Chain A
Amino acid sequence: MKSYAFLFWGYLVVWAGIVLYLAFLGTRLARAGRRLEALERRLHERAPSAR
């Protein structure tokens, strides 16, 4: 029975690690995307004729 505990924790750690990293990337991506959109909107408001 003890060996199943190790097996469980091993796979759990890997799964948790990947999910955590994906969540980290996801939040950073969402935040960067939002800030970029906000900035681009402001830039177009100030100078609609700018390229």
Chain B
Amino acid sequence: MTRRFPLVYGTLLAVSALGIALALAQIFLVAPEERVMGAVQKIFYIHVPLAAVTFLAVFVLLVGALGYLTTGRPVWDRLAVAACEVGWVFCTLVLITGPIWAKPAWGVWWTWEAKITTTLVLWLLLAGIVVARGYATTPEQAARVGAVLGVVAALDVPIVYKAVDWWRGQHPIVFGPGRGDPLAPGMGRALLLSMLAVTVLFSALVVLRMRLAALEEALAAAEDAAGRSW
């Protein structure tokens, strides 16, 4: 794994850079400007893929956490911590680009709509996992805590969404996201390209983060061995 790694990572990074360049070209040069909102609507092409990938990260976190709880093998924990951290970074970007889109589009920076609120709660859940892991005294404890919290968080997300959705049903939104407008053809392709590019970027970051986790594990083991050999 260690020798193949630079090649895998380099390829992923190059592909994501290429993908992003292509997507940006499609977004700014080809896709038509939206009739009502104008150029600012183009944030949508980065905001939506970021959000989709964030929820993909939650799924990967669940897989990693369950994998670690059932097998105890470190590779699953590496996947879980990578998905958790990278997912949290992407979640932060979603929560920042969202209001930047919302203000010119709907006139408000924030609403408590179901998707937006769920993303905020998810951000808190992921942040909690990162914080809790930081308090662990051994790597095994960090892995176990991360896995338990990861499973609960991942399972909670759909429940949160449904609950907020019903809650909003009792307080209908006067302004804000409603039914989506149909996409013009140039827009659809831009969104797809952007979605692919962001997914590849996400994968590259996850692989890189897993590499860091593996290195830190090896470092801890070596420090253990060094301590014992005195």
Question: Does B associate with A?
Answer: yes
B residues less than 8 Å from A17 (CB atoms): 89, 92-93, 96
The CA-CA distance from A47 to B230 in the complex, in Å, is: 11
Within 8 Å by CB of B219, from A10, A11, A32, A42, lies A32
The CA-CA distance from A43 to B226 in the complex, in Å, is: 6
B205 within 8 A of A: yes
Other A-B contacts than A13-B96, A18-B201, A25-B205, 19 sampled, CB-CB below 8 A, are A3-B37, A6-B43, A7-B42, A10-B97, A13-B93, A14-B97, A17-B89, A17-B96, A18-B205, A22-B208, A25-B209, A29-B208, A29-B211, A32-B212, A40-B222, A42-B226, A43-B222, A43-B229, A46-B229
Q: A14 and B219: CB pair below 8 A?
A: no
How many of chain B's residues have a CB under 8 angstroms from any CB in A?
34
The residue in chain A whose Cβ has the minimal distance to the Cβ of B217 is: A32
Q: A4 and B208: CB pair below 8 A?
A: no
Tally of A-B Cβ pairs under 8 angstroms: 81
Q: A33 and B226: CB pair below 8 A?
A: no
Main secondary structure of the interface of A (DSSP, over half): helix
Chain A interface (Cβ < 8 Å from any Cβ of B): 2-4, 6-7, 9-11, 13-14, 17-18, 21-22, 25, 28-29, 32-33, 35-36, 39-40, 42-43, 46-47, 50
B103 within 8 A of A: yes
The residue in chain A whose Cβ has the minimal distance to the Cβ of B222 is: A39
A residues less than 8 Å from B86 (CB atoms): 21
B101 within 8 A of A: yes
The CA-CA distance from A13 to B98 in the complex, in Å, is: 11
Q: B218 and A36: CB pair below 8 A?
A: yes
B residues less than 8 Å from A13 (CB atoms): 93, 96-97, 100
B156 within 8 A of A: no
